[in-house]
Amino acid sequence: MQPLTRPQGEILIGARGSKLAVAQAHAVGHALTRSQAGLSYRLVRIKTTGDVRREEALPDIGGKGLFTREIEQALLDGRIDLAVHSLKDLPTESSQGLGIRATPARAPANDALISRDDIPFDKLPKGARVGTSSLRRAAQLLRLRPDLYICPIRGNVDTRIAKLHSGEYHAIVLAYAGLVRLGRGDEASEVLPFDIMMPAPAQGALGVQARTAAGELARVRANDDVELDKDRHALFVRRTAAIDHVDTFLATTAERALLQALGGGCSLPLGAYAEKTGSDTLRLRAILLAPDGQQQATADQRGATKDPRALALAVAEELRSAGADAILQANQAS
């Protein structure tokens, strides 16, 4: 493998090729170039397993790494310098040699309902067909409206909205952050409050991923003809730090640590949201549901911002006290 050649100061940013992923990557690239003079970036679009197998239900093809695995490999191979992910898609356990270098300020974490004739959630007709492939969304919808008919749906934002308007569904549920980032936030019929729909851990947040110093050295040892720019790793750390948002980092660390503590992947019907409630206090709310939404365990605790993982463990214990283990077994059996 020959060393990459590019203009001085140029960073290669990898992302999925969807409109939303491209918009997110450009937002990060623009933020980086605004933060430091002489810096430029080039976007590299990478197709992932989740993009290729678009007709299959996500839980059926495995939850972990469906939208990230190929991008991470490009990082490890040195074909890109940074990767921009929807943080909720990243497995909670970092791939060896890679790490999250920045979490930019979070967009709204809520889910959004888009319905025909702008009908709100509580006014949807009995037996309405609601499109979502998320077990978390399905369970929460059925918790409040067991009469609804939950139908799987895949595809990008444009595809899903087109399927709605073609008459396949009465409504669909999407992450509101995606609509906002695409300039389509006004198409939401209702931004669902957390008492209706608790978001996925890290929903609305981005993760900027890079090789760690150890990962960089491992790549060089495996490819003797690759030259290592010794200052490059430190340079990336400095540059990505300029767009890191501490409150987003604290909140998403707590949410992802909770997901990890429960042993679940991104397909687990877990809703979680953390936020600062004081200068040194973090609040973490969570709900874990059985697939049909009729069993649930909830938790709501506050902890110190200096240790978001300890707060996550405390919330996991509260969920277990409320019956989480039985619910987890029900999810595994379904």
Neighbours of 197 (CB within 10 A): 25
CB 102 within 8 A of CB 241: yes
d(CA 142, CA 173): 13
Q: At 199, is the secondary structure helix, strand, or coil?
A: coil
CA distances from 258 to 231, 254, 308, 313 (A): 35, 6, 10, 6
d(CA 138, CA 250): 28
Q: How far is Cα of residue 7 from the mean position of the Cα atoms in its chain?
A: 32
CA distances from 154 to 35, 89, 129, 267 (A): 36, 15, 15, 14
Neighbours of 55 (CB within 10 A): 8
Q: At 91, is the secondary structure helix, strand, or coil?
A: coil
DSSP, residue by residue, 123-167:
GSPTT-EEE---HHHHHHHHHH-TT-EEE---S-HHHHHHHHHTT
d(CA 59, CA 152): 11
122 has catalytic annotation: no
**Residue from 89, 117, 225, 247 carrying the catalytic annotation:** 89
Q: At 191, is the secondary structure helix, strand, or coil?
A: strand
C-alpha closest to that of 13 among 71, 92, 98:
71
Backbone angles phi, psi at 297, to 5 degrees: -130, 135
Write out the catalytic residue numbers.
89
